[in-house]
């Protein structure tokens, strides 16, 4: 009996070893991130909704967790309505069995200008039909936080003339443009303005979270160098600051 028991135990052990570890798939990330990016940039909200499970959770920055296809439609439909496009980069993904995760970075743009960038993480579930869908989606920004509720944001309007309007506008586009530099110095929200009758008459509407820090940077060597690089004629600069 002892011999039989040992043989049975050895057989079970061999069977378990033969099964091996669960299959791990690392190819999920890039393909699905590219598909999401393509659908967002094509303003295809129905296509985006189809990427999610029916009970998916979406967890946007500075907002409550929402659930279901209606929540997905509301979230990304609002982005599309605002003219937002994006670039997504998958940095790591892994699938084990019918569950997977995918994480990476994003950058959002309007008319070629970066308005936000940050990171995201998703969990995916493979359904009975063999299709992978997002079951949980969370993302948050790398940009400076908005003022807390009740904290006032100071607004400033600046107008000036530039020698090269094209060069000045180009400075406000792209990941390392002036928006990033302004945000790092207390001005996280900037709207770029240009006269339709006089292209070299330009201006900014600026939301200031830290007016003192922004003023110090604007008057610093770095701030003056940025203005010179963008061909701003500082002698024409007029600033209007919110007083009420």
Q: Which two tokens stand for residue 220?
A: 């610093």
Q: What is the pLDDT of residues 185-217, one digit of tens each?
A: 888 888 888 888 899 999 998 988 888 888 899
Residue 37 is part of which domain span? 22-141
Looking at residue 6, what is its pLDDT? 42
Whether residues 160 and 135 fall in one domain:
no
pTM above 0.85, yes or no: no
In a domain, 91, yes or no: yes
- Say how far apart CA 241 and CA 136 lie, in whole Å: 43
Strands 132-141, 52-59: pairing is parallel
Do 26 and 83 reside in the same domain of the chain?
yes
Does 59 fall in a domain? yes
Q: Which CATH number goes with the domain that contains 119?
A: 3.10.450.50
Average pLDDT estimate for 17-35: 65
* 19 pLDDT higher than 70: no
What is the total count of domains within the chain? 2
| Mean per-residue pLDDT, 22-26 | 53
Of 108, 141, 174, the last residue of a domain is 141
Mean pLDDT for the chain overall: 84
**End of a domain among 141, 165, 180?**
141
As a whole number of angstroms, the distance between CA 198 and CA 113 comes to: 22
For residues 129 and 58, membership in a common domain is answered with yes
My answer on whether 56 and 87 are in the same domain is yes
| 102 and 158 assigned to the same domain | no
Whether residues 120 and 192 share a domain: the answer is no
pLDDT value of residue 242: 77
Burial label, 224 (beta-carbon count in 10 A; 0-12, 13-18, 19+):
middle
Any domain includes 68:
yes
What's the full length of the chain, in residues?
244
Output the domain CATH number for residue 203: 3.30.70.100
Q: Would residue 189 count as lying in a domain?
A: yes
Residues 174 and 84 in one domain: no
Q: Is residue 72 part of a domain?
A: yes
Please tell me whether residues 85 and 134 are part of one structural domain.
Answer: yes
pLDDT tens for residues 158-191? 899 999 999 999 988 865 678 888 988 888 888 8
């Amino acid at each position: 009996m002892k011999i039989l028991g040992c043989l049975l135990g050895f057989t079970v052990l061999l069977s378990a070893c033969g099964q091996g570890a669960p299959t791990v798939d690392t190819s999920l990330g890039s393909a699905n991130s590219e598909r999401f990016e393509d659908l967002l940039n094509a303003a295809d909200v129905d296509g985006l909704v189809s990427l999610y499970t029916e009970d998916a959770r979406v967890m946007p920055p500075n907002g409550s967790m929402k659930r279901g296809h209606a929540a997905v439609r509301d979230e990304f439909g609002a982005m599309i309505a605002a003219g937002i496009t994006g670039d997504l980069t998958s940095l790591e993904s892994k699938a084990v069995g019918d569950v997977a995760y995918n994480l990476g970075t994003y950058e959002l743009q309007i008319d070629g200008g970066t308005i936000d960038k940050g990171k995201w993480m998703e969990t995916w579930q493979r359904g009975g039909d063999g299709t992978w869908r997002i079951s949980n989606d969370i993302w948050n920004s790398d940009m400076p936080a908005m003022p807390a509720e009740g904290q006032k944001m100071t607004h400033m309007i600046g107008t000036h003339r530039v020698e090269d309007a094209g060069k000045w506008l180009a400075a406000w586009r792209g990941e390392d443009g002036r928006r990033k530099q302004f945000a790092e110095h207390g001005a996280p929200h900037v709207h770029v303005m240009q006269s339709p009758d006089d292209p070299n008459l330009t201006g900014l509407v600026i939301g200031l979270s830290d007016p003192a820090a922004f003023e110090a940077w604007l008057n610093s060597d770095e701030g003056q160098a940025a203005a010179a690089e963008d061909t701003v004629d500082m002698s024409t600069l007029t600033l209007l600051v919110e007083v009420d």
